[in-house]
């Protein structure tokens, strides 16, 4: 097995991984491994923007309150405080590095999204905010001599010895290499691809959560999956997001009879919390026996729409939907996982030498439901914090044994793809926006048939991803079964009330005989 040594290893090149790399570069050699081309990540596709209390009408205290309210009682207040207070300096620093956010005259332009009580969302090139962040961060990383980037390298597992993480095994082409490091930062993003309907790009298969779990990391809040209400639903179109900022600018939801309906579900109408809007859409789809509703911008000024949402306008046109003239068929899709590898405020996990940041992590900042556009900010703030904390990891001098990582004989490609397809469908149908004991148990039973996959090491990225998707799916179901109540984005039709002990967080750890619960003060 080829062996590579570095001071710091970062797994993932989205906003969180890149920001951590920048922080670490002055202190030693940094390697960033990434599964695909460097830009392929959720970050690259982020549309609406980045929430930050920088406008004249805003304050960090108000951003704090809105985040806590969206989190529905389960945010860790100290984490939210860090997010909103360190957000402004992280954004100003990004502007110094070359980020160009949209302006009105000479002033930054802020938009509105659901559950924000102020216009506080910065955006770039209208609806390409994530692409701008990725561009600036990659350029910054490229300028740092100490940072090496390995593309098309998928982390398989962590190298763990005596409770300490010493790096990771990585699949490079079809070879497994061992990268040793003083500290390792998981920044692999979320797990949207576990569901058949999702806004997430193909790389987002829950790898970091599964890798962390296998190594003994604690996972938290896995039942909280956020579904985005408005995703394009047109024949042969991809599951393309239609930013919430469109509703922030005045777009209206209509059912298939072209009737506005959302006011019947929540007084905040189009800007009600995401989980409420997603469930309202499902309910309206059931009522009208349809597989979609419409997003309507036809009453808005066409030139404004084209200028404000250029990427959405041109992408929809490619699928024969003209957003300034036509009603846009939409339905919800899995979008964001609030849960993940449990960390403290500095990205430290329960495993020495292992840090996590961004969507893979659970700092508690989002509670049971993430406030829109808080995750790019989270990647910047907690990516930087994880980097800062990882600097102090001691150099490991004791010898330790490497695992053999023999490639298992595995089912044919054909079988893998069949299982992958079935897994995603089951997760969407049984563990989606509305769940209940029966649907969750059905899903659990079906997934158990494929548990042999969990003990295998694969020589292909698709195989590895399948194992990770299965792991994460099992954990989401386990947590969703344990939470016998409805809080934030987790909705149980058999327990529509919050339920007893709703304030606790569900913690899952491999080989623990008992599930642990933790209360936030
Ligand atoms: P990502 O940006 O997803 O990066 C993960 C990286 O890890 C990728 O480089 C990936 O290739 C790599 N990786 C994964 N597995 C492995 C492995 N095994 N080995 C090596 N590398 C691996 N949030 C907002 O705040 N505002 C928005 O406007 C917004 N819009 C969104 C629009 C879309 C379509 C989507 C999908 C999400 C949006 N979000 C938005 C959410 C936000 O983009 C993500 O939560 C955030 O970008 C996550 O950043 P990250 O660095 O944690 O992960
Ligand atoms: C959007 O633009 O609607 C996505 C924003 C987010 O998920 O934070």
Q: 48 C-alpha vs ligand 2 centroid, how far in Å?
A: 5
Q: How far, in Å, is the centroid of ligand 1 from the Cα of 308?
A: 23
Give the sheet arrangement for strand 219-220, strand by strand.
361-362, 340-342, 219-220, 504-508, 516-519
Ligand 2 within 6 A of CB of 244: yes
For residues 517 and 108, which has the higher predicted lDDT (pLDDT)?
108
Which phi-psi region, left, alpha or beta, contains residue 176 (left: φ > 0; alpha: ψ -120 to 50)? beta
User: Which uninterrupted H or E stretch holds 168?
Assistant: strand 164-172
* Integer angstrom CA distances of residue 502 from 15, 151, 336, 369, 434: 32, 42, 21, 14, 18
CA distance 482 to 478: 6
Distance 374 CA to ligand 2 centre (A): 9
SS3 sequence, 244-307?
HHHHHCCCEEECCCCCECHHHCCCCHHHCCHHHHHHHHHHHHHHCCCCCEEEECCCCCHHHHHH
Angstrom CA distances, 52 to 22, 47, 97, 100, 246, stand at 21, 15, 17, 15, 19
Tell me what pLDDT residue 458 has.
Answer: 85
Nearest atom within ligand 2 for CA of residue 374: 8
Calculate the average pLDDT of the chain.
95
CB 52 within 8 A of CB 122: yes
Report whether residue 375 contacts ligand 2, using a CB cutoff of 6 Å.
yes
Tokens linked to 125: 């090139």
Ligand 1 atom nearest to 198, measured from its CA: 36
User: Contact 469/203 with Cβ under 8 angstroms?
Assistant: no
* Centre of ligand 2 from the C-alpha of residue 173, in Å: 34
**356 CA distance to ligand 2 centroid (A)?**
22
Residue 51: beta bridge partners?
121
**What's the chain's length in residues?**
521
Judge contact between 11 and 415, C-beta under 8 A.
no
Average pLDDT over residues 245-256: 97
Nearest atom within ligand 2 for CA of residue 373: 8
Range with the poorest average pLDDT among 160-169, 191-200, 427-436, 489-498: 160-169
Strand blocks (E) in 41-82? 50-51
Q: What is the mean pLDDT of residues 82-101?
A: 98
**Catalytic residue check, 214:** no
Q: In DSSP terms, which residues pair with 155 in a beta bridge?
A: 170
Exposure on the CB side of residue 450, measured as CA atoms within 13 A: 26
pLDDT of residue 395: 78
Cα of 273 from ligand 2 centre, angstroms: 12
Taking the domain 227-333, which CATH number applies?
A: 3.90.700.10
pLDDT higher than 80, residue 93: yes
Whether this model's pTM surpasses 0.75:
yes
Residue 413's pLDDT is 64
What φ, ψ does residue 202 adopt, rounded to 5°? -60, -25
Q: How would residue 516 be classed by pLDDT, with cut points 50, 70 and 90?
A: confident
Assess contact for 389 and 347: CB atoms under 8 A. yes
C-alpha to C-alpha distance for 264 and 255, rounded to whole angstroms: 12
Closest CA to 476 of 221, 282, 114, 113: 221
Cβ–ligand 2 contact at 243 (below 6 Å): yes
Does residue 129 have its Cβ closer than 6 Å to ligand 2? no
Q: Which residues pair with 421 in a beta bridge?
A: none
Q: Point out the ligand nearest to the CA of residue 361.
A: 1
pLDDT bracket for residue 174 (50, 70, 90): confident
Please state, in angstroms and rounded to a whole number, the distance separating the CA atoms of residues 268 and 287: 21
Percentage of the chain beyond pLDDT 90 is 89
pLDDT for 416 beyond 90:
no
pLDDT cut 70: percent of the chain above it: 96
Would residue 340 be called left, alpha or beta, if left means φ above 0 and alpha means ψ between -120 and 50 degrees?
Answer: left
Contact between 271 and 356 under an 8 Å Cβ cutoff? The reply is: no
Q: Which atom of ligand 2 is nearest to the CA of 230?
A: 3
Q: Is the dihedral of CA 372, 245, 198, 295 positive or negative?
A: positive
Residues in Cβ contact with 259 at an 8 Å cutoff, skipping those fewer than 6 apart: none
∠ Cα 99 100 105 (to 5°): 150
Q: At what angle do helices 129-142 and 375-390 cross, to 10 degrees?
A: 20
Strands 30-33 and 516-519, bridge-based pairing: unpaired
Residue 102 has pLDDT above 70, yes or no: yes
Gap between the Cα atoms of 232 and 242, Å rounded = 7
The domain locations on the chain are 227-333
Per-residue pLDDT band for 150 (boundaries 50, 70, 90) equals: very high
Q: Does 53 have pLDDT greater than 80?
A: yes
Q: Of 8-17, 358-367, 436-445, 452-461, which gets the smallest average pLDDT?
A: 452-461
Task: Pick from 13, 63, 115, 130 the residue to mutate for probing ligand 1's pocket: most ligand atoms within 8 Å of its CB.
Answer: 130
Residue 518 has pLDDT above 80, yes or no: no
Residue 449: partners with Cβ closer than 8 Å, 6 or more residues away: none
State the pLDDT at residue 406: 65
Q: Is the pLDDT of residue 135 over 60?
A: yes
- Point out the catalytic residue in the list 274, 308, 370, 435: 274
Q: Which residues lie with the beta carbon below 6 Å from any ligand 1 atom?
A: 11-17, 33-36, 40-43, 45-50, 129-130, 154-155, 187-189, 199-200, 203-204, 207, 241, 336, 358-360, 373-376, 379
pLDDT tens-digit map of 327-381: 999 999 999 999 999 999 999 999 999 999 999 999 999 999 999 999 999 999 9
**Closest C-alpha among 360, 363, 371, 364 to residue 337:** 360
């Amino acid at each position: 097995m080829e062996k590579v040594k570095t001071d710091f290893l970062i797994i993932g090149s989205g906003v969180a991984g890149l920001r951590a790399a920048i922080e670490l570069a002055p202190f030693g050699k940094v390697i960033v491994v990434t599964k695909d081309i460097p830009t392929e990540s959720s970050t690259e596709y982020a549309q609406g923007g980045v929430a930050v209390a920088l406008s004249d009408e805003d304050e960090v205290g108000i951003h704090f309150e809105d985040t806590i309210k969206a989190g529905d009682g389960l945010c860790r207040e100290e984490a939210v405080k860090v997010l909103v207070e360190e957000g402004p300096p992280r954004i100003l620093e990004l502007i110094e590095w070359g980020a160009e956010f949209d302006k009105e005259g000479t002033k930054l332009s802020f938009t509105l999204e659901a559950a924000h009580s102020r216009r506080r969302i910065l955006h770039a090139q209208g609806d390409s905010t994530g692409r701008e962040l990725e561009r600036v961060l990659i350029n910054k990383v490229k300028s740092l001599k100490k940072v090496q980037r390995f593309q098309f390298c998928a982390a398989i597992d962590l190298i763990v010895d005596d409770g300490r993480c010493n790096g990771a095994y990585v699949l490079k082409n079809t070879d497994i290499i061992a990268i040793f490091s003083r500290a390792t930062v998981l920044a692999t993003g979320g797990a949207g691809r576990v569901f058949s309907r999702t806004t997430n790009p193909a790389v987002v298969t829950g790898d970091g959560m599964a890798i962390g779990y296998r190594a003994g990391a604690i996972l938290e809040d896995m039942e909280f999956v956020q579904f985005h209400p408005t995703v394009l639903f047109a024949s042969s179109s991809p599951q393309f997001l239609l930013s919430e900022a469109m509703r922030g600018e005045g777009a209206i939801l209509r059912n298939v009879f072209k009737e506005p309906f959302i006011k019947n579900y929540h007084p905040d109408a189009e800007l009600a919390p995401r989980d409420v809007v997603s469930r309202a859409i499902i309910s309206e789809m059931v009522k009208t026996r349809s597989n979609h509703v419409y997003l309507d911008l036809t009453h808005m000024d066409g030139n404004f729409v084209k200028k404000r949402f250029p990427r959405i306008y041109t992408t929809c046109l490619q699928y024969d939907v003209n957003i300034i003239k036509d009603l846009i068929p939409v339905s919800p899709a899995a979008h964001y996982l609030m849960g993940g590898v449990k960390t403290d405020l500095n990205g430290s996990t329960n495993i020495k030498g292992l840090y996590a940041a961004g969507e893979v992590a659970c700092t508690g900042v989002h509670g049971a439901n993430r406030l829109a556009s808080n995750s790019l900010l989270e990647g910047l703030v907690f990516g930087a914090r994880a980097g800062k904390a990882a600097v102090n990891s001691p150099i490991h001098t004791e010898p330790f044994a490497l695992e053999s990582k023999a490639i298992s004989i595995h089912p044919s490609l054909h079988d893998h793809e069949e299982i992958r397809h079935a897994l995603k469908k089951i997760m969407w149908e049984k563990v989606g926006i509305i769940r209940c004991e029966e649907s969750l148990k059905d899903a659990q039973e079906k997934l158990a048939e494929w548990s042999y996959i969990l003990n295998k090491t694969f020589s292909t990225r698709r195989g590895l991803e399948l194992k990770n998707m299965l792991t994460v799916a099992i954990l989401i179901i386990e947590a969703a079964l344990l939470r016998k109540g409805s809080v934030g984005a987790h909705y149980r039709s058999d327990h529509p009330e919050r339920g007893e002990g709703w304030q606790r967080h569900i913690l899952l750890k491999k080989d623990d005989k008992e599930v642990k619960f933790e209360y936030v003060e």
